[in-house]
Amino acid sequence: MGLSPVTGIRYTLLCAQLWGAFFGCELHESIMTVSEFTVQNRHSPDRRTPLRWLFSHARWHLWPVLGMLLPSLGNGALASQIPLLIGIAFDALVNEQAIPDYRRLLWVAAMVVVTQTGRSLVMLVRNFSAEVMGQRVERDSRDELYVSLIGKSMTFHDMHAVGDIMARATNDVREINLMFNPGLNMVIGSSSFLIMPVVFAFSIHPQLMLVPLAFVLLYAAAVWQYLTELRPISERVRGTFGDLNAHLAQAIDGIETVKAAAQENTETGRFMKHAGAYRDAFVLQGRVEARFLPLLLMGLSNGFGFWHAVTLYQQRAISIGDVVAFMSLIALFGFPVFVSLFSYSQVALGVAGARRLLELITEQTELDENVQGHSEAVQGSVVFENVTFGYTPTSEVLQEVSFRVEPGQTVALVGQTGSGKTTLVKLINRIYDVQRGRVLVDGVDVRDWQLASLRRQISIIEQDLFLFSRSVADNIAFGLPGATQHQVEEAARAAQAHDFIMTFNNGYETVIGERGMTLSGGQRQRLALARAFLTNPHILVLDDSTSAIDSATEDQIQSAIRRAARGRTTFLITHRLSQIRWADLIVVLQRGRVTAVGDHSQLLKTSPAYRQIFSRHSRWEQPDREES
The CATH number of residue 424's host domain is 3.40.50.300
Tell me the CATH number at 254: 1.20.1560.10
* Cross-strand bridge partners of residue 438: 385
Say if 501 falls within a structural domain.
Answer: yes
Give SS3 for 29: coil
Nearest partner of 72 among 169, 201, 186, judged by Cα: 186
Element at 8 (helix H, strand E): helix 5-22
What secondary structure does DSSP assign to 472-539, as a single string? HHHHHTTT-TT--HHHHHHHHHHTT-HHHHTTSTTGGGPBPPGGGTTS-HHHHHHHHHHHHHHH--SE
CA distances to 145, 148, 208, 246, 547 from 239, in Å: 18, 20, 47, 11, 41
CA 180 – CA 135 distance, rounded (Å): 9
What own/partner pairs with CB < 8 Å and gap ≥ 24 does 87-90 have? 87/204, 87/319, 87/321, 87/322, 87/323, 87/324, 87/325, 87/326, 87/328, 88/321, 88/325, 89/321, 90/319, 90/320, 90/321, 90/324, 90/325
How confident is the model at residue 8, as a pLDDT?
A: 42
Contact 362, 182 (CB under 8 A): no
CA 431 – CA 33 distance, rounded (Å): 18
Q: What is the pTM of this model?
A: 0.70
Say if 485 falls within a structural domain.
Answer: yes
Among the three residues 361, 393, 418, which one is the final residue of a domain in this structure? 361
Nearest partner of 583 among 413, 378, 417, 440, judged by Cα: 413
Instruction: Locate all alpha helices (DSSP H) within 94-209, ordered by sequence.
Output: 102-151, 154-158, 162-167, 173-178, 185-204
Among the three residues 361, 394, 418, which one is the final residue of a domain in this structure? 361
Give SS3 for 310: helix
Contact 407, 401 (CB under 8 A): no
Say if 29 falls within a structural domain.
Answer: no
- φ, ψ for residue 482 (rounded to 5)? -90, 10
How confident is the model at residue 619, as a pLDDT?
A: 53
* Cross-strand bridge partners of residue 436: 388
Nearest partner of 561 among 592, 591, 528, judged by Cα: 528
What is the distance in angstroms between the CA of the first residue and the CA of the last residue of the chain?
Answer: 88
Are residues 94 and 235 located together in one domain of the fold?
Answer: yes
Contacts of 70 (CB under 8 A, 6+ apart): 2, 3, 8, 122
How confident is the model at residue 427, as a pLDDT?
A: 93
- φ, ψ for residue 224 (rounded to 5)? -55, -50
Sheet containing 436-441: which strands, arranged edge to edge?
398-405, 382-389, 436-441, 444-445
Give SS3 for 298: helix
Are residues 279 and 357 located together in one domain of the fold?
Answer: yes
* Cross-strand bridge partners of residue 460: 541
Contact 328, 320 (CB under 8 A): no
Tally of structural domains, the chain: 2
Say if 38 falls within a structural domain.
Answer: no
How confident is the model at residue 42, as a pLDDT?
A: 60
Are residues 357 and 412 located together in one domain of the fold?
Answer: no
Say if 239 falls within a structural domain.
Answer: yes
CA 357 – CA 173 distance, rounded (Å): 8
CA 560 – CA 496 distance, rounded (Å): 8
The conformation of residue 552, written as its DSSP 8-state character, comes to: H
Contact 528, 550 (CB under 8 A): no
Q: Which residues of the chain have pLDDT under 70?
A: 1-43, 96-98, 366, 463-464, 514-517, 545-560, 563-565, 616-628
CA 58 – CA 181 distance, rounded (Å): 13
Give SS3 for 389: strand
Are residues 334 and 437 located together in one domain of the fold?
Answer: no
Are residues 157 and 301 located together in one domain of the fold?
Answer: yes
Contact 568, 380 (CB under 8 A): yes
Length of the chain: 628
Are residues 254 and 335 located together in one domain of the fold?
Answer: yes
Give SS3 for 430: coil
CA distances to 89, 150, 537 from 372, in Å: 76, 20, 22
Say if 92 falls within a structural domain.
Answer: yes
CA 193 – CA 152 distance, rounded (Å): 46
Reduced DSSP (H G I as helix, E B as strand, rest coil) percent helix, strand, coil of the chain, to 5: 65, 10, 25
Are residues 133 and 212 located together in one domain of the fold?
Answer: yes
Instruction: Give me the domain span that covers residue 524.
Output: 382-627
CA 353 – CA 170 distance, rounded (Å): 10
Are residues 418 and 350 located together in one domain of the fold?
Answer: no
3-state secondary structure labels for all residues of 326-367:
HHHHHHCCHHHHHHHHHHHHHHHHHHHHHHHHHHHHCCCCCC
How confident is the model at residue 11, as a pLDDT?
A: 39
Q: What is the pLDDT of residues 43-64, one digit of tens each?
A: 678 888 888 898 888 888 889 9
CA 120 – CA 104 distance, rounded (Å): 24
Sheet containing 585-590: which strands, arranged edge to edge?
458-461, 539-543, 569-573, 410-415, 585-590, 593-598
CA 498 – CA 477 distance, rounded (Å): 14
For residue 307, count other CB atoms closer than 10 A to its CB: 11
The conformation of residue 24, written as its DSSP 8-state character, comes to: T
Are residues 347 and 389 located together in one domain of the fold?
Answer: no
How confident is the model at residue 626, as a pLDDT?
A: 40
To the nearest 10 degrees (0 to 180), the angle between helices 62-93 and 5-22 is 90
How confident is the model at residue 228, as a pLDDT?
A: 87
Among the three residues 310, 331, 361, which one is the final residue of a domain in this structure? 361
Task: Please state the separation of Cα 162 from the chain's center in Å.
Answer: 11
Are residues 400 and 253 located together in one domain of the fold?
Answer: no
Are residues 357 and 394 located together in one domain of the fold?
Answer: no
CA distances to 260, 272, 540 from 255, in Å: 8, 17, 33
Say if 8 falls within a structural domain.
Answer: no
Say if 156 falls within a structural domain.
Answer: yes
Are residues 263 and 412 located together in one domain of the fold?
Answer: no
